Amino acid sequence: MSDLSKIEDGQVVSMDYTLRVDGEIVDSSEGQAPLEFLQGAGNIIPGLEQELYGMTLGSSKEIVVLPEDGYGVIDPDAFIDVPRDQFPADIPLEEGVEITVTEEDGTPMNARIDSINDEYVVLDFNHPLAGKELHFSTKIVGLRQASAEETEHGHVHGGHEH
């Protein structure tokens, strides 16, 4: 049996957190159930998971995750020029508008309008938090050994799925 006093692989961690990007809160568990995940299974972004090792129940930590350990750096190839006349008329042509584009095989892809000129609408398919430094305030509120089934499946069963 592993030591349950500090976080290691194969444990189910319950964590309260607030995520700030550029000083703004973009995500938080406040007012909701804590985030539950299987440590070491890649359920959460790598830079955050890495920093949790060795934390103990009830402990808090401020964690800064760089883009390459979070949602990735900005990929210049993820910007696509769409001719304005091919753009659906029911979508407002404004920077920052989020749309879903369906690929030829039917896969939905999220994109944001990056910029607009006379001929083209430039779509950005990067994750909205790509290229951003992520500032997490974390508190460990639960720690238990994962069940054999959870370990096998690589994620937490029951509770709240996020």
* C-beta of residue 107 within 8 angstroms of C-beta of residue 46: no
Query: In this predicted structure, what is the pLDDT of residue 88?
Result: 84
- Number of structural domains the chain divides into: 2
Statement to judge: residues 66 and 137 lie in one domain: yes
Query: In this predicted structure, what is the pLDDT of residue 161?
Result: 44
Q: What residue numbers bound the domain in which 102 lies? A: 76-124
Contacts of 161 (CB under 8 A, 6+ apart): none
Query: In this predicted structure, what is the pLDDT of residue 2?
Result: 52
Query: In this predicted structure, what is the pLDDT of residue 160?
Result: 46
Statement to judge: residues 66 and 17 lie in one domain: yes
Give domain status of residue 98, yes or no: yes
Query: In this predicted structure, what is the pLDDT of residue 103?
Result: 84
Query: In this predicted structure, what is the pLDDT of residue 89?
Result: 85
Statement to judge: residues 65 and 81 lie in one domain: no
Query: In this predicted structure, what is the pLDDT of residue 35?
Result: 97
Task: Give the residue from 75, 77, 52 showing the smallest Cα distance to 63.
Answer: 52
Give domain status of residue 1, yes or no: no
Statement to judge: residues 66 and 85 lie in one domain: no
Statement to judge: residues 15 and 94 lie in one domain: no
Q: What is the domain-level CATH number for residue 101?
A: 2.40.10.330
* C-beta of residue 154 within 8 angstroms of C-beta of residue 12: no
Per-residue b/e over 2-15, b at no fewer than 16 CB within 10 Å? eeeebbbeebbbbb
Q: Rounded to an integer, what distance in angstroms lies between the CA atom of residue 40 and that of residue 48?
A: 11
Give domain status of residue 18, yes or no: yes
Q: Token digits for 113?
A: 């309008």
Q: What is the domain-level CATH number for residue 51?
A: 3.10.50.40
Consecutive sets of 10 residues in the chain, 162 residues long: mean pLDDT of each?
79 97 96 96 96 97 98 96 91 93 90 95 95 98 95 82 42
With tokens 């830079």, the residue in question is 47
Statement to judge: residues 29 and 107 lie in one domain: no
Task: Give the residue from 52, 39, 11 showing the smallest Cα distance to 145.
Answer: 11
Statement to judge: residues 40 and 116 lie in one domain: no
